Homo-oligomer: A and B are copies of this chain.
């Protein structure tokens, strides 16, 4: 079998973001961690880490991390069946990638009872919904939420529902920039707010209006910051209806095209060999997510 002491050192360095923290976690010296990584690289004949700050796994290292996570999930099932195997039945860590807007809205309510019941600690990683499968493919996470249906090799996907995005801005912003509707100004010159380089929702909205080309935008990589920027009148932007129910009702925000929305499907992707823990979370999400995602319709 593989030498799991070496693999555990690699996982600790990547998950903790450094050699010193990995050493603290495992109760070892930094030089012991460093030796284990070097030994692993010598056996493999290839580097497993890029020595940057924080250290990052090479392609070979990521493949090993993928394996470590699969083994951890299988060990958890073993512990369930043979609880005497170790006395320190601590909490299990599970790495999941999800889009910021899910994390900012329905996700916590969906997973909270399950985390408590199954004694799971979540390592949540943000990924835009259009590119979330990147971390799944690289083996960094055991599951992910994204807008793409097609699963990566070794995984399955399941549709949970959709998030409806609305184009909104503050009433003062609309009065200033679109005094007589969206057609009354060159929308490319009215500042938008965009979450990050991978966020194409605003681009799609503008194309939907029949306008081509580049437009002015602020970058704001925070879901809550995004809504604050819109409320403060910095720009217009696309937000999940779920997230701005209260702001729309109170009149702090209003829709640029009332009644129009852009649906974005949400698929749950999970490893086939993730064991009972991942299957349990999948069943829990299938039960709870659709109602939480549909709450914006009643709102």
Give A residues with C-beta under 8 Å from B.
16-18, 21, 24-25, 54, 90-91, 100, 103-105, 107-109, 111-112, 115-116, 121-126, 191, 197-198, 214, 216-225, 228-229, 231-234
User: What would 23 A/B residue contacts be, using CB atoms closer than 8 Å?
Assistant: A24-B214, A25-B214, A54-B197, A91-B216, A100-B225, A104-B224, A104-B228, A108-B232, A109-B232, A111-B232, A111-B234, A112-B233, A116-B233, A116-B234, A121-B216, A121-B218, A122-B218, A122-B220, A123-B218, A123-B219, A124-B218, A222-B222, A222-B223
In the complex, what residue of chain B is closest to A56 when comparing beta carbons? B52
> CA A18 – CA B224 in complex, angstroms?
27
Q: Which residues of B contact A233 (CB under 8 A)?
A: 112, 116
Which residues of chain B are within 8 angstroms of A220 by Cβ–Cβ distance? 103, 122, 124
Q: CB within 8 A of A225: which of B108, B198, B231?
A: B108
Q: A108-B234, A112-B233, A197-B16 are in contact. Are A225 and B121 (CB under 8 A)?
A: no
Chain B: minimal CB distance from A223 (Å): 5
The chain B residue sitting closest to A177, CB to CB, is: B116
User: Please, which residues of chain B bring their CB within 8 A of the CB of A103?
Assistant: 220, 222, 224-225, 228
What residues on B are CB-neighbors of A90 within 8 Å? 216
Is A228 a contact of B105 with CB atoms below 8 Å?
yes
Contact between chains at A122 and B219 (CB < 8 Å): yes
Residues of chain B lying within 8 A (CB to CB) of residue A221:
124-126
Given contacts A103-B220, A115-B234, contact A228 B121 (CB under 8 A): no
Cα separation A231 to B104 with both chains bound (whole Å): 12
Q: Which residues of chain B come closer than 8 Å to A222, judged between CB atoms?
A: 100, 103-104, 124, 126, 222-224
A182–B109 Cα distance when bound, in Å, is 25
Q: Complex Cα distance A47/B204, Å?
A: 35
Cβ-defined contact, A225 with B223, below 8 A: yes
CB of A121 within 8 A of CB of B191, answer: yes
Residues of B within 8 A of A16 (CB): 197
Of the candidates B54, B109, B115, B123, the one whose C-beta lies within 8 Å of that of A228 is B109
**CB-based contact B197/A21 at 8 Å:** yes
- What chain B residues lie within 8 Å of A91 (beta carbons)? 191, 216
Most buried by B among A18, A111, A223: A223
CB distance from A243 to the nearest CB of B (A): 8
